Structure 1
């Protein structure tokens, strides 16, 4: 929990600088050459700047060690940033959709190859950023970096749609297909739907963690199997675990012989904690509660794992 995770911070800084540059590029070119999908995509990028700053701040906060006010650490700071990214993406989706619908019912503008180049540059740039940040986000278990990566992916969708829409309009004007002039706003509507779906997926994941949804059942089963192997454990009463940002906290209730001394119980609890943490590096805390077990009571441990 005291790891500074420089790779995560570096990934977010690279994303921030890139978003600033791409925002200026898209909005400038989009306004100069009257490309609604490029302007809308530029506004989306402007929202990305806010999201990236939130991710940067949360990543710095989340690395702080536990303190008196936050005994379980600051890992959820990244989840809050992830939720903010989801909200910004949703707002961007509605903005892109609104502007595209207005352009669809208006007089189409004559397309130019310069917006096409700008959209293509953005698409390639964002794809590289997505691959870079998703790799670091997964390696570092960083929710904010992964949210930033998916934000880049949304931009890839947006830029791809812009390339197709503008390219179709340019191609149609060459061969006399006037209807293709509406390719730009139609592409913008498609982009808005894709971005909205992505916002929902990121937001749902963030809300689940903030609401302390349990980790997958198969992972809990692995913890139970590890606990059952420890000497002195006669019954597994309950095993719960939750994500706390980029790490996991586990709660365990087990039954031990009622005649054991406090020292023996303490040693068993320490064994359980060490075993789980050694086998899962994502776990930073294991809280063990001991319940009394008496001779003749049923044991919940598998027969081949009885102590």
Structure 2
């Protein structure tokens, strides 16, 4: 668990420094080269810095041990940060869409090779960051790292739009294609829709976890099969499980023979907990409620 935490934090730190460098690069290049698309992308990247700081802070908070005020741990701090990143992405999508639509009603700007080079550097850099962080996020089950990865993916879309837009502008100048000068705003509109879709997916996942939605039905079914494998469990009354950030909490109610001693019930509980936690290392807590089961129930059926 400690190694997973370290890997997640390292990925977010790398993302933070990368976003700071890319923001400076795009803003300086946009101002010096008079490129509105790079300037807009730089402003978008500045929002990424805020989102990454939120992911970093939440990742640190989420690893704090349970205390009196937070008996189930601090895992949902990552989910809150993930929701915050979704909001940042939604605002960025609206910003890109507004700027792109506005550009359609203005005289097209002149593109140059330096602007294209800056956009290509951003595209390659962000694609590498996305591949790295999505792998770490999936390996660590960290919501904040996954949100950071999808934030990078949104930047890949934005940088790709800049490359296409600037490239079309340069090509249009050579081939005298007047329509090519508007390739950038058209690509920007498409990108804004893609980023908005990403924001929706991240936001929906965050809301589902905050609302304590059950884990996937397949996982619940397997938990049930593990419980049924314990011979002393005569009835399953309820099985629930919820994500709590980067870990899972399982809640089960089962029936065991009514004449069992407290010690026997305790041993059965420990065995059930071991079965589930051995199967799924993401489970850090299994809460078990034992109900009395009477053999006469079989006769009724």
Deviation at 1:44, TM superposition (A): 1.2
CA positional deviation for 1:275 = 1.0
Aligned CA distance change for structure 1 residues 2 and 18 (closer, same or farther; 3 Å): closer
> Contact 1:27 / 1:38 at 8 angstroms: preserved in 2?
yes
Instruction: Report the Cα distance in structure 2 between the residues aligned to 1:37 and 1:93, rounded to whole angstroms.
Output: 14
SS at 1:5's partner residue?
Answer: helix
Aligned residue runs from structure 1 range 99-248, under 5 A: 99-248=99-248
SS state at 1:284 partner: strand
Q: Counterpart in 1 of 2:29?
A: 29
CA distance in 2, matches of 1:39, 1:98: 14
Cα drift, residue 111 of structure 1: 0.9
Q: Which residue of 2 aligns with 1:304?
A: none
Distance 1:204 1:224, change over 3 A: same
Q: Find the counterpart in structure 2 of residue 249 from structure 1.
A: 249
Structure 1 residue 31: Cα displacement: 2.7
**Are 1:50 and 2:50 matched, yes or no?**
yes
Provide the rounded CA distance (Å) in 1 between the counterparts of 2:110 and 2:274. Answer: 67
Shift of 1:167: 0.1
| Aligned-partner Cα distance in 2 for 1:157–1:119 | 11
- Residues 250-304 of structure 1 deviation map (CA, whole Å, 9 limit, x = unaligned): 00000001111111111111111111011110000000001111012149xxxxx
Report if aligned partners of 1:241, 1:249 keep a CA contact under 8 Å in 2: yes
Name the structure 2 match of 1:88.
88
Q: Deviations over 1:51-73 (max 9, x none)?
A: 00000000101111111111111
What runs of 5+ residues in structure 2 fail to find an aligned partner? none
Counterpart-to-counterpart distance in 2, 1:196 and 1:293 = 52
Query: Structure 1 257/125 Cα, relative in aligned 2: closer, same or farther at 3 Å?
Result: same
In 2, Cα distance between equivalents of 1:68 and 1:103? 55
**Which residues of structure 1 form unaligned runs of 5+?**
300-307
| Rounded Cα–Cα distance in structure 2 between residues aligned with 1:213 and 1:94 | 29
Is the contact between residue 3 and residue 63 of structure 1 (CA under 8 Å) also seen in structure 2? no
Per the alignment, residue 11 of structure 1 pairs with 11
Q: What's the offset of the Cα at 1:83?
A: 0.4
- RMSD across aligned C-alpha pairs, in angstroms? 1.3
Q: What secondary structure, in the 3-state scheme, does the structure 2 residue paired with 1:212 have?
A: coil
Residue deviations 1:9-55 (CA, integer Å, cap 9, x gap): 11100000000111111122223333332222211111100000000
User: What is the CA distance between 1:5 and its match in structure 2?
Assistant: 1.2
Q: Distance in 1 between matches of 2:201 and 2:25?
A: 28
TM-score by length of 2: 0.97
- Say how many residue pairs are matched: 299
Q: Supply the distance in 1 between the matched residues of 2:244 and 2:85 (Cα, whole angstroms).
A: 18
SS at match of 1:236: strand
SS at match of 1:215: coil
Taking the aligned partners of 1:75 and 1:3, their CA distance within structure 2 comes to 16
Would you identify which runs of 4 or more consecutive aligned residues in structure 1 move more than 3 Å? Answer: 1-4
Asked if structure 2 preserves the Cα contact closer than 8 Å seen for 1:2 and 1:64, the reply is no
Worse overlay, 185-194 or 70-79: 185-194
Instruction: Measure, in 1, the Cα distance between the counterparts of 2:140 and 2:74.
Output: 15
Structure 2 Cα separation of the partners of residues 16 and 233 of structure 1 = 50
